[in-house]
Amino acid sequence: MSRQPRIVAWTSTEEYLSVAEYLYSASIDERKHGVAIVKAWRSRARIPVAIEATAGLVEMTVADEEAKGVTTNHLRHMYSMAMIRFVNTIVDLEQKGTFAQSVVSLAGKIGMPAWFVELRHAATHEQLPSLTVLQSACQQALGWLSDYYWNKQTRSLPSDTQVHIRNALAAYLQAQDIVLQQGGRKSGKKGAVDYTAMETASAELTRLVENLHVDAVRELLIPLLLEPGFLVPEDKKLRSKFPECKLLPGVEKRWKDLLVWFAECWGETTFYDELLAGIVAGIIPNAAEAGLFEVSDSVPSLSHAATLVAWVRWIVESYYVPEGADLAGSPAISIEPLLESCLRNPSYYSRSILKIVSETDAALKRDLKPFVDFMTKALEALAAMEADKKTHAGSKPARVMSEEAMKQEEALMVQRLNAHFGSSAAVDESLNDDGAPEADGASMDVDAPAARQPAGSEAAACRWKRIPEPGWAACPIGTLASGDVPSLEWPAWVDDLPLYAVPA
């Protein structure tokens, strides 16, 4: 769940938007060009299924308009296949959870017309629909994709949107606190509770939130919620503590209704998955860059991190449905990205999150126990090394795992990780690094995050490291180390490829 750069097939936003114009152009040549570009994108990387579906339907309309020697029955089969693939690929994205849901119910959740599903069923199991019906369905499907995908992707927000959201959210919370304080007093002291300020702030917040699409939630709202003063109170007395990492009742009460409302705006799984991703990215450093059990420069304070881990506990306990649990109809967040991020980037905080998941799911507890034990032993070893380093005494150090035993256990953990999640070269390199990690600064404790590894240590020299500022050199964004710009353009011969085969 640690934030990794998202690989896309297009070279720029302008190219992405131009393809939308090509695909929905009245010119058949421009539509052909749009389909050809999508084919080139497909050869570079995975592309969203909505783009695949749009290109497939557009290609079908082009084939229909230029049909030569193609029978009506042949066109009916081609249209039917295009519509079947359109419905299946879009609806399958919503098929989550332990139990499979019907195609009709899933289509209803995303706003897809029910008759698209009926048409798919008829084309698959019954007599093929008429050509007129299929042509109309294809055009309406393109219109639906335009409304529910392309238009939302092209919607832009003002540059100061986050500032307005921050102000509106702060005003709402302040008004809510006043209402809660007034409501807590005995009747007769201050009269009726005044909801005017809260209603005004709520209306402004609603106006801003309704204009946010999912990408804006990820880029604007989630980082804002993780700032001090929002999900993490400014008053440190209200923050959670390690190792319990439980929210205080007042903090949960202040945010519960608001988070539920946010989840209703974009879907429970979408919002809470994004919130978990933001939390983990903020408190768990990438082991391939920072090293094992290290704390990056951007990691917040201990009390701040403890409160964020407590929010992870609240989300997991409220919205995670263990496999086999009889909770039909309950929203279920995806737990695998969270687990993979914590397992591949071992640290004090990731160990705390793994313990939370273990407490929630008894089946996962058995699988996670070796990893949690390994992290505990490694943290104990780091604490003992730091204590021995600070004392500089000749006394016998505390008993910890030997270096050879530690390497063997690291290799076993890597093997188990790769068996479940697939290989990861970056993690393998980090885990198999020679030299034991060291720490600087204050003394270490197994119940506190490990200190940062000094830049000059032997282990740090084998990993990626931050180059000192005097060694920096300016270069354009997107260039290779040599200064060359990689070419991501599709070859010219792609434009001449036929969109479909014309029978002889």
Print the SS3 string covering 90-117.
Answer: HHHCCCCCCCCCCHHHHHHHCCCCHHHH
- Distances, alpha carbon 193 to alpha carbons 181, 183, 189, 258, in Å: 9, 6, 11, 20
Please give the mean pLDDT across all residues of the chain. 76
Q: How far apart are CA 107 and CA 115, in angstroms?
A: 10
- Whether the pTM exceeds 0.75: the reply is no
Q: Judge whether residue 453 has pLDDT over 60.
A: no
Q: Which residue carries 């699988």 as its tokens?
A: 367
Q: Which residue has the higher pLDDT, 423 or 399?
A: 423
What does R_g of the chain's alpha carbons equal in angstroms? 28
The per-residue pLDDT for range 164-179, each reduced to its tens digit, is 889 999 999 988 888 8
Q: CA angle, corner 258, sides to 254 and 264, nearest 5?
A: 155
pLDDT at 488: 67
282: three-class secondary structure by DSSP: helix
The per-residue pLDDT for range 14-24, each reduced to its tens digit, is 788 888 889 99
Closest by CA position to 437, among listed 382, 482, 474:
382
The per-residue pLDDT for range 311-349, each reduced to its tens digit, is 999 999 988 888 766 554 455 687 888 888 888 888 888
pLDDT at 309: 94
Closest by CA position to 252, among listed 240, 266, 268:
240
481-491 per-residue burial string, b: 16 or more CB within 10 A, e: under 16: eeeeeeeeebe
Non-local (6+) Cβ contacts of 434 within 8 A are: 458, 459, 462
277: three-class secondary structure by DSSP: helix
Q: Are 369 and 358 in contact (CB under 8 A)?
A: yes
Q: Are 382 and 397 in contact (CB under 8 A)?
A: no
Question: Which structure tokens are listed for 455?
Answer: 């830049």
Q: Are 413 and 402 in contact (CB under 8 A)?
A: no
How many Cβ atoms sit within 10 Å of the Cβ of residue 167?
14
Q: Enter the DSSP assignment of 296.
A: -
Confidence of residue 298 (pLDDT cuts 50, 70, 90): low
Phi, psi of 277 (to 5 degrees): -60, -40
pLDDT at 239: 93
* Omega prior to 243 cis, within 30 of 0: yes
The per-residue pLDDT for range 414-435, each reduced to its tens digit, is 777 777 666 654 444 433 433 3
pLDDT at 96: 59
Q: Which residue has the higher pLDDT, 266 or 207?
A: 207
Long-range contacts formed by 152-159: CB under 8 A, 24+ apart: 152/213, 153/16, 153/20, 153/213, 153/215, 154/17, 154/20, 155/211, 155/213, 157/211, 157/212, 157/216, 157/220
